[in-house]
Amino acid sequence: MKKVIIILMLLGILTAIAVPVIAEEPASMAPAAVEAAAPAAAPMKAEDVQKNMNFIWTLLAAFLVFFMQAGFAMVETGFTRAKNAVNIMMKNLMDFSLGSLAYWAIGFGLMFGASQTGWFGTTGFFFSDFAKEQDPWLFAFWMFQVVFAATSATIVSGAMAERTKFISYLIYSVAISAIIYPLFGGWAWGGLFHGKGWLEKLGFIDFAGSTVVHSIGGWAALAGAIVLGPRIGKFTADGKPRAIPGHNIPLASLGVFILWFGWFGFNPGSTTAANTDTALIAVNTNLAAAAGTVGALLVAWFLFKKPEASMTLNGTLAGLVGITAGCANVTPLSAVIIGFLAGVLVVLSVLFIERTLKIDDPVGAVSVHGVCGAFGTLAVGFFNTKGVTLEGIGIQALGVAAAFIWSFTLCFILFKVIQATIGLRVTKEEEMEGLDIEEHGNVAYPDFQTHQNNA
């Protein structure tokens, strides 16, 4: 023990002697590399910092919107039967995968390529012309736009769930991502990259896509549900609707929470700039979602005598869709009103489409996205902080009508062509058995007994 203490004392003495010697070493003894050190880099300019922040914010928002794909998949799966869960997850996976390729190849050029008429772009397919500009913003902007295209395409899946051929779904999903969504998107948003579209020139306001994204998807879903027809057992012989409950409301609820979270990329991210505007947009988005939830809850509670869960969840989405057009152009109070009315509207719309029109929409996609998207776009004309005019309201109405005519008409024709060629709907036996086994050879819950609903 004494030896250890002596050794430690000697080490301490040597350290005390060495440190001052090292500290006092003359500068002339420093390595030559130190003397030849490079001069300090010039500080970044303010505009360079802002540019970098714009890139970071736009890409972060794009990633949030991409995460919404998981939310849509969960909502649709939860609202439908267990025997089709694999099929729905596969559809949501493939519409983003194929949609990304289709949008890169064709859609982005049609939407944002140079246009002489304001109707469609003629450059930039496969990034061919855009890439020559050597502008890295192209890639950040494309990444943000492709997730919007995927959102519009995936809306259709819910309205046509549980009875559509997988191959047919892939075909129309590509068509929406490559042509139907981009062409209308260019009419309203073309000026974000190249020349303005004709609606944009008139002063049409749809900041983040109540109509451009959601109504285009919603009206396509309506056309598909009409051509496809209702699920087996949905309506009785005398035309009365029968409930076909979803198998997992907790999963659907988680999907709604994810969508609510992702919407903070969807709306504030549409600034494509890191600036102070994002704060108000985020607040309006959140308030509208909360008000939509309350509005749907109260109406459903009044009509069904219970605080019904699925209607309330759709009320949240209705509030989000409703505020998407005007999130940058209305006050927080207006956002609450728009969201609440959208929540009320979605319940009434679901009942009208099912009971009066006899259309089977398993998840309420037409009501949430088509109807509430149109309502939210019209609401901008009535609540615009920059001024309310009859002309402004008329332009908003024109944009809503153009979206319906364009999307519904083209998709109705597309679905009819698919129906007449390769077929749109699975056989009766396949629908009864479930698309998971018949289309994919898998089951979502192999270790659990699922209810057979053969009605």
Paired strand residues for 425: 164
Mean pLDDT of 286-292: 98
Res 46: pLDDT: 84
Residue 40 belongs to some domain of the structure: no
Residue 44 belongs to some domain of the structure: no
What percent of the chain has a predicted confidence (pLDDT) above 90?
82
How would residue 42 be classed by pLDDT, with cut points 50, 70 and 90? low
Least confident of 117-131, 256-270, 346-360: 117-131
Res 395: pLDDT: 98
Res 308: pLDDT: 96
What mean pLDDT, rounded, does the chain reach?
90
Mean pLDDT of 82-110: 96
Name the residue type at position 442.
N
Closest CA to 79 of 304, 251, 232: 251
Residue 449 belongs to some domain of the structure: no
Cβ(176)–Cβ(437) below 8 Å: no
With a CB cutoff of 8 Å and minimum separation 6, the contacts of 308 are: 300, 301
Residue 392 belongs to some domain of the structure: yes
pLDDT tops 50 at residue 22: no
Residue 9 belongs to some domain of the structure: no
pLDDT tops 60 at residue 279: yes
Residue 91 belongs to some domain of the structure: yes
Closest CA to 216 of 130, 150, 295, 137: 150
Res 28: pLDDT: 46
Closest CA to 146 of 188, 183, 96, 216: 96
Res 6: pLDDT: 46
pLDDT tops 80 at residue 363: yes
Res 359: pLDDT: 98
**The pTM of the whole model exceeds 0.85:** yes
Res 111: pLDDT: 96
Q: What is the CATH number of the domain that holds 362?
A: 1.10.3430.10
Least confident of 266-275, 414-423, 439-448: 439-448
pLDDT tops 90 at residue 216: yes
Residue 26 belongs to some domain of the structure: no
Residue 35 belongs to some domain of the structure: no
Classify residue 33 by burial, with Cβ atoms within 10 Å: 0-12, 13-18, 19+. Answer: exposed
Mean pLDDT of 255-267: 98
In angstroms, the CA 393 to CA 353 distance is: 26
Mean pLDDT of 50-70: 97
Instruction: List helix spans (H) across 421-450.
Output: 428-433, 435
Torsion of CA 131, 136, 138, 140, to 10 degrees: 140
With a CB cutoff of 8 Å and minimum separation 6, the contacts of 66 are: 96, 147, 150
DSSP E strands in 41-117: the ranges are none
Res 455: pLDDT: 46
Mean pLDDT of 355-371: 97
Torsion of CA 91, 255, 284, 403, to 10 degrees: 20
In angstroms, the CA 335 to CA 188 distance is: 22
Least confident of 7-16, 164-173, 267-276: 7-16
Q: How many domains, in total, are found in the chain?
A: 1
Cα separation values, 213 from 58, 155, 224, 446, 450, Å: 18, 9, 17, 36, 36
Q: Which domain holds residue 414?
A: 50-440
Torsion of CA 283, 286, 289, 291, to 10 degrees: -60
pLDDT tops 60 at residue 12: no
Cβ(290)–Cβ(319) below 8 Å: yes
Cβ(88)–Cβ(97) below 8 Å: no
Instruction: List helix spans (H) across 160-248.
Output: 166-175, 181-189, 198-202, 216-228
Least confident of 254-258, 397-401, 449-453: 449-453
Per residue in 190-215, pLDDT (tens digit) is 999 877 899 999 999 999 999 999 99
pLDDT tops 50 at residue 18: no
pLDDT tops 70 at residue 4: no
